[in-house]
Amino acid sequence: MSEPAIVADSLTYRYGDLLAVDHISFTVERGEILGFLGPNGAGKSTTVKMLTGQLRPLSGRALLLGIDVSRHPKQVQARIGVCFEQPNLYEELSAADNLRLFARLFNVRDLDLTALLRRVGLDGRGNDLVSHYSKGMKQRLMIARALVNRPDILFLDEPTEGLDPTSAEAIRRVIREEQERGATIFLTTHDMYEADRLCHRVAFINSGRIVALDTPHNLKQQYGKRMVRAEVVGPDGSLLTREIILDQPETAAEMANLLQHEKVITLHSEEATLEDIFIQLTGRGLA
Amino acid sequence: MNIAALWALITKDARLYFANRLFALVTVLGLVAYIAIYFLLPATVDETLRLGMVIPELPPALAEALTDDAVQIERFTDATALRAAVASGEVTVGIAFPADLFDQLRQGSRPTVELFLAPEVPPDFVSVYEAAARELSFNLVGQELPVVISEEILGPDMAGAQIAPRQRMLPLFAVLVLMVECLGLASLIAAEVEQGTIRALLVTPLSLRGLFVAKTLFGSLFAFVQAVLLLAVTGGLVREPLLNLTALFIGSVLMTGTAFLIASLGRDLMSVMGWGMLALLIMALPTFTVLLPGLAADWVQFIPTHYLVDTIYRSLNFGAGWSEVGGNLLPLTASALLFLALGMAILQRRFV
């Protein structure tokens, strides 16, 4: 069995008096997509900065592909791709020039610019100045830049935040393709729906600590409540909502009572969302 | 770091620099303007002293001065006419002896010699003309001075070869060229920090050292080439070219270090301009002591550009060579390296 792609061992970081990341540990297997969920200020970005060599941990260590990031950051950075939350492209240059610059920095000599731009849906727009791009186009270009060196590990920070559905779906498609290629994906996001769809496992981080780490399915099984939600006609003719928790001793009786005595308009089974589970675990939402 | 990456960073900075229309215009137009101003300024110096006199007879020494191009002496009939000539600007200085000078002397009274001065005569020169009037008086009455005056010219004898205004301004133009590029580079770096592109660069195999090497090369070479162009067009490389080129290059490195310092303080274009103007004012001060020698003060030697200005000014106008001004390169180099090191140390803290 190959060594994990990412090993975080008791990583800690402090900004002055604020303990931003508090001894977090986890591993990410090669080819896995790990979702890192948490509200603003939870420590997600600080964790990513330590993993990508931008910050030196106060204590603990991070191993990427078996290499200690603190000791050999440039060796690690040659094999990873990073897509930042905020666009940080050279707006006065064209998309193609931005990509060529980073190809040179990674010593990539055989960059197929056309193919890369086509992958992210920017074919034909390579010579346009980035300042003329929409937000969605800039985000796609950021993804393209992160793929220039065909990275073994891809760090994506809120890649679909604020994007239109077309752009967001284009990015998700690229993420799946990269995973199929064998890359490991470390995805930080607020979007529990996206994490649920894309990630093999998700980690919840709150106040610098990991409060849960498992597959979405297992988390829902462990923490979630399955229920049936019905809309019924009330005495005054208005629509009312009824909820029946499943897997309880009284479930069958409640279901029978509902169907016998209420005029049911709609009936849906539901399971807990990751946000519901996060709120249950931390007492706060993901936003 | 590989050369291809270094070259990619330098060309990227060059493109970004000229993508900023303000700096593109200021760079090109500034260079053209400095060269144009240089050639529009007089190439010679008119320091002719126009002296008006009301004097009973002309002493032999003064008669000899009439043949000197530097002094034009015009005799007037009376003090009223002389006063009017000074007031109208016809002459700069007027010395009027009373018509009855010898009669007054015979009678034992003290004659009054009137000294008329045009408003533009510097206050420091008034005592000089007073002394000249007293000497003329001695000459007229036939009394010899009780001391022997020996004349000694300190430094190169610039009589007939005074330094033209445009030559005095050349060091100022050179410093301005370097400072404009300094501001441009500082603005470029500040923008990269604010936009986060520096972070993107540093999450690649590019090291911090590599980044600073690229910035230093771009900033220094760009400024150096422009300064060399300025001196080449204005004939400033005819004398001691290697000395001046060396001084200019070190000066370019000094300005690059200054740019790093300004970028570490500035948060946006406005604040970069603000800090940059302050730096420009300080760095340009030594050039003003060349334009107006009376402004020279010892503390100017603490400003690093003093050694650049002094080298260029003295080598171009006094023929100073390595032995006379080569020593300037040591403090200039030390300052450049200090500014560079300090700028890098402070600036890198903004990169994370």
Domain edges within chain A: 4-219, 224-269
Residues 323..352 of B with a Cβ closer than 8 Å to A: which? 352
Among the listed ranges A80-94, A169-183, B120-134, which one has the minimum average pLDDT value?
B120-134
Number of other residues whose CB lies within 10 A of the CB of residue A17: 5
B294, B297, B300, B305 alpha-carbon torsion, rounded to 10°: 30
Using one digit for the tens of pLDDT, what is the confidence trace for A248-287? 888 889 899 999 998 999 988 877 778 888 887 877 766 5
Answer whether B242 touches A (CB < 8 Å): no
pLDDT value, residue B131: 81
Asked whether residue B122 carries a pLDDT value surpassing 90, the answer given is no
- Three-state SS for chain B is CCHHHHHHHHHHHHHHHHHCHHHHHHHHHHHHHHHHHHHHCCCCCCCCEEEEEECCCCCHHHHHHCCCCCEEEEECCCHHHHHHHHHHCCCCEEEECCCCHHHHHHCCCCCCCEEEECCCCCHHHHHHHHHHHHHHHHHHHCCCCCCCCCCCCCCCCCCCCCCCHHHHHHHHHHHHHHHHHHHHHHHHHHHHHHHCHHHHHHCCCCCHHHHHHHHHHHHHHHHHHHHHHHHHHCCCCCCCHHHHHHHHHHHHHHHHHHHHHHHHHCCCHHHHHHHHHHHHHHHHHHHHHHHCHHHCCHHHHHCCHHHHHHHHHHHHHHCCCHHHHHHHHHHHHHHHHHHHHHHHHHHHHHCC
In chain A, whose CA is at the least distance from the CA of B195?
A88
Residue B148 lies in a domain: no
Same domain, B17 and B109: no
Say how far apart CA A228 and CA B211 lie, in whole Å: 59
Map residue A64 onto helix, strand or coil.
Answer: strand
Using one digit for the tens of pLDDT, what is the confidence trace for A188-215? 987 888 888 899 999 999 999 999 999 9
B200/A100 touch (CB, cutoff 8 Å), yes or no: no
Same domain, B17 and B84: no
The alpha-carbon gap from B336 to the nearest alpha carbon of chain A, in Å, equals 29
CATH value at residue B73 = 3.40.190.10
> Per the confidence metrics, is the pTM higher than 0.80?
no
Find out whether A284 and A237 touch, Cβ atoms under 8 Å: no
Answer whether A133 touches B (CB < 8 Å): no
Half-sphere exposure of A97 (CA within 13 A, CB side): 18
Same domain, B84 and B201: no
The alpha-carbon gap from B271 to the nearest alpha carbon of chain A, in Å, equals 21
* Facing B203 at nearest CB: one of A54, A89, A101: A54
pLDDT value, residue B113: 83
Same domain, B106 and B186: no
pLDDT value, residue B147: 42
Find out whether B175 and B305 touch, Cβ atoms under 8 Å: yes
Same domain, B206 and B347: yes
A78/B204 touch (CB, cutoff 8 Å), yes or no: yes
In chain A, whose CA is at the least distance from the CA of B18?
A92
Q: Give me the amino acid identity at B63.
A: A
Asked whether residue A96 carries a pLDDT value surpassing 90, the answer given is yes
Q: Which of A46, A93, A98, A104 would best serve as a mutation to test chain B binding (most B beta carbons within 10 A)? A: A104
Map residue A146 onto helix, strand or coil.
Answer: helix
Residues in CB range of A218: below 8 A, 6 or more apart:
none
| β-pair partners for A212 | A204
Q: Which of A76, A100, A105 would best serve as a mutation to test chain B binding (most B beta carbons within 10 A)? A: A105
Same domain, B33 and B54: no
B203/A104 touch (CB, cutoff 8 Å), yes or no: no
Give the Å distances, CA to CA, from B107 to B99, B103, B111. 14, 6, 10
Say how far apart CA A184 and CA A30 lie, in whole Å: 5
Answer whether B16 touches A (CB < 8 Å): yes
pLDDT value, residue B313: 87
A82 contacts in chain B (CB < 8 Å): 200, 203
Say how far apart CA B275 and CA B266 lie, in whole Å: 7
pLDDT value, residue B154: 46
What number of C-beta contacts closer than 8 Å exist between A and B? Answer: 67
The alpha-carbon gap from A78 to the nearest alpha carbon of chain B, in Å, equals 5
Residues 196..225 of B with a Cβ closer than 8 Å to A: which? 196-197, 199-207
Say how far apart CA A57 and CA A67 lie, in whole Å: 15
Say how far apart CA B251 and CA B257 lie, in whole Å: 10
Say how far apart CA B246 and CA B325 lie, in whole Å: 12
The residue whose two tokens read 């730096």 is: B279
Same domain, B209 and B303: yes
pLDDT value, residue A112: 94
Give the Å distances, CA to CA, from A39 to A159, A273, B130. 15, 15, 86
Answer whether B3 touches A (CB < 8 Å): no
The alpha-carbon gap from B11 to the nearest alpha carbon of chain A, in Å, equals 10
* Residue B196, token pair as written in the block: 């986060």
Q: State the ipTM, two decimals.
A: 0.85
Same domain, B7 and B114: no
Residues in CB range of B107: below 8 A, 6 or more apart:
none
Q: Which of A51, A85, A89, A90 would best serve as a mutation to test chain B binding (most B beta carbons within 10 A)? A: A90
Please provide the average confidence, as pLDDT, over all residues in chain B. 83
Answer whether B110 touches A (CB < 8 Å): no
Answer whether B154 touches A (CB < 8 Å): no
Same domain, B179 and B199: yes
Answer whether B19 touches A (CB < 8 Å): yes
Which strand (E) or helix (H) includes residue A81?
strand A80-83
Reference B183, options B272, B303, B305, B285; nearest CA is B272
Confidence of residue B148 (pLDDT cuts 50, 70, 90): very low
Q: Which residue has the higher pLDDT, B298 or B303?
A: B303
Asked whether residue B258 carries a pLDDT value surpassing 90, the answer given is yes
Same domain, B101 and B57: yes
End-to-end CA distance of chain A, in Å? 38
A105/B16 touch (CB, cutoff 8 Å), yes or no: no
Answer whether B15 touches A (CB < 8 Å): yes
Answer whether A86 touches B (CB < 8 Å): yes
Using one digit for the tens of pLDDT, what is the confidence trace for B192-232? 999 999 999 999 999 999 999 999 999 999 999 999 999 99
Using one digit for the tens of pLDDT, what is the confidence trace for A41-55? 889 999 999 999 999
Rg (CA), chain A: 23
- Per the rule left: phi > 0, alpha: psi between -120 and 50, beta: everything else, B159 is beta
Reference B98, options B74, B122, B86, B82; nearest CA is B82
Find out whether A70 and A61 touch, Cβ atoms under 8 Å: yes
Number of other residues whose CB lies within 10 A of the CB of residue A249: 6
What's the domain count of chain B? 2
Highest mean pLDDT among A119-123, B106-110, B120-124: A119-123
Q: Which residue has the higher pLDDT, A9 or A227?
A: A9
Give the Å distances, CA to CA, from A47 to A186, B37, B194, B313. 11, 58, 22, 57
Give the Å distances, CA to CA, from A276 to A162, A211, A283, A284, A286. 22, 14, 10, 9, 9
Same domain, B213 and B239: yes
Answer whether A80 touches B (CB < 8 Å): yes
| CATH superfamily name and code, A4-219 | P-loop containing nucleotide triphosphate hydrolases (3.40.50.300)
Please provide the average confidence, as pLDDT, over all residues in chain A. 91
Number of other residues whose CB lies within 10 A of the CB of residue B156: 12
Q: Which residues of B190-226 are buried (b: 16+ CB within 10 A; e: fewer)?
A: bbbbebebbbbbbbbbbeeebbbebbbbbbbbbbbeb
Same domain, B181 and B126: no
Residues in CB range of A277: below 8 A, 6 or more apart:
A204, A212, A219, A220, A223, A224
Compute the Cα dihedral for A178, A190, A129, B268 and give only its sign.
negative
**Parent domain of B24:** 3-42+163-351
Say how far apart CA B190 and CA B197 lie, in whole Å: 10
pLDDT value, residue B301: 86
Q: Which residue has the higher pLDDT, B38 or B261?
A: B261
Confidence of residue B150 (pLDDT cuts 50, 70, 90): very low
Among the listed ranges A116-120, B64-68, B238-242, which one has the minimum average pLDDT value?
B64-68
Asked whether residue A187 carries a pLDDT value surpassing 50, the answer given is yes
The residue whose two tokens read 């320091």 is: B47
Which strand (E) or helix (H) includes residue A279?
helix A274-282
